[in-house]
């Protein structure tokens, strides 16, 4: 197996283990979702906009709570994830909720063109560090958007790695130089005490690298936003605002997240 395939197989196994403890982790809010709450946050809601009747592709959907939240807002939703346990949990949960959504188990870098084209594709929070080939990732997005379709990415800013070393990608430099960081982790961010241990490979991609990959795949960039708040309390000193986002107590000096909006040619 090539180095890339080894890294991918190792990461699938890591996410299989994480998924098994995430479904019941309070952070994921499955009970609140069952009671009607959305798991979507203000940045993606604002950037994606009205999805009623729109074909929506949710990349790296984990066990599908966001996918189903988009479906609840009226989207014809498809979620993709490379973890069989995550896709099985997503399908089971959709069935239990009596909700319609399609779930596909595949590495986004090997997705190819699905039978349908999508009006919008979305990926959020903790997705880029698992992507070894930005060109394969961006190519899959381009291949699956309908003419004029939009892609929205909302992601932790790679600068966070310098503020809290190892927090997301595990890098100790802003620049990843395309080399993955190999580590052995225990527990997970949603269940720190869980007795699981696994290997993983994570990549650091700069905002410029990600934006350029989308341009190289033929998409036009419509927005590059660096955001002064975080969707999760990844760093100390952040306070939960009434908007459901985590803000620094003092004047913001760094970007915690970024968002890219790109459009396929018409």
Give the footprint of ligand SAM on this chain (CB under 6 A). 11, 15, 60-62, 65-66, 81-83, 86, 107-109, 124-127, 130-131
Question: Which structure tokens are listed for 195?
Answer: 């007795």
Give 125 or 151: the residue with its C-beta nearer to ligand SAM. 125
How distant is the alpha carbon of residue 16 from its chain centre? 16
- Rounded Cα distance, 261 and 103, in Å: 24
In whole angstroms, what separates CA 119 from the centre of its chain?
A: 18
Shorter beta-carbon distance to ligand SAM: residue 112 or 265: 112
Nearest to 257 by CA among 227, 224, 223: 227
Q: Which is nearer to ligand SAM, 33 or 82 (CB)?
A: 82
State both tokens at 42.
């203000």
Q: Are 47 and 41 in contact (CB under 8 A)?
A: no
CB of 59 to ligand SAM, least distance (A): 7
The distance of closest approach from Cβ of residue 215 to ligand SAM in the complex, given in angstroms and rounded to an integer, is 21
Judged by beta carbon, residue 207 or residue 231, the one nearer ligand SAM is 231
Which residue number, 127 or 230, has a Cβ lying nearer to ligand SAM?
A: 127
Residue 109: CB minimum distance to ligand SAM, A:
5
Distance of CA 31 to the CA centre of its chain: 21
Q: How far is the CB of 164 from ligand SAM (least distance, A)?
A: 16
Paired sense of beta strands 257-263 and 220-227, if any: antiparallel
Q: Least Å distance between CB 180 and ligand SAM?
A: 12
């Amino acid at each position: 197996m090539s180095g890339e395939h080894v890294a991918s197989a190792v990461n699938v196994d890591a996410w299989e283990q994480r998924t098994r403890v995430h479904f019941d982790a309070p952070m994921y809010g499955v009970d609140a979702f069952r009671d009607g709450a959305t798991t979507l946050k203000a940045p993606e809601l604002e950037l994606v906009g009205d999805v009623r009747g729109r074909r929506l592709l949710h990349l790296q959907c984990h066990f599908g709570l966001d996918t189903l939240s988009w479906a609840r807002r009226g989207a014809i939703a498809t979620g993709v994830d490379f973890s069989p346990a995550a896709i099985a949990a997503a399908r089971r949960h959709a069935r239990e909720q009596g909700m319609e959504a399609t779930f596909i188990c595949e590495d986004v870098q090997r997705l190819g063109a699905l039978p349908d084209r999508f009006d919008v594709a979305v990926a959020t929070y903790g997705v880029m560090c698992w992507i070894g080939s930005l060109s394969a990732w961006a190519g899959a997005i381009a291949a699956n958007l309908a003419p004029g379709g939009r892609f929205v990415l909302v992601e932790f800013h790679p600068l966070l790695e310098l503020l809290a070393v190892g927090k997301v990608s595990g890098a100790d430099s802003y620049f990843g130089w395309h080399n993955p960081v190999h580590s052995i982790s225990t527990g997970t961010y949603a269940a720190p005490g869980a007795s699981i241990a696994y290997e993983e490979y994570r990549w650091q991609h700069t905002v410029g690298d990600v934006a350029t990959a989308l341009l190289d795949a033929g998409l036009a960039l419509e927005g590059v936003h660096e955001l002064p708040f975080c969707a999760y309390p990844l760093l100390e000193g952040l306070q939960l605002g009434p908007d459901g986002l985590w803000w620094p107590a003092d004047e913001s000096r760094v970007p915690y997240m970024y968002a890219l909006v790109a459009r396929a040619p018409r």
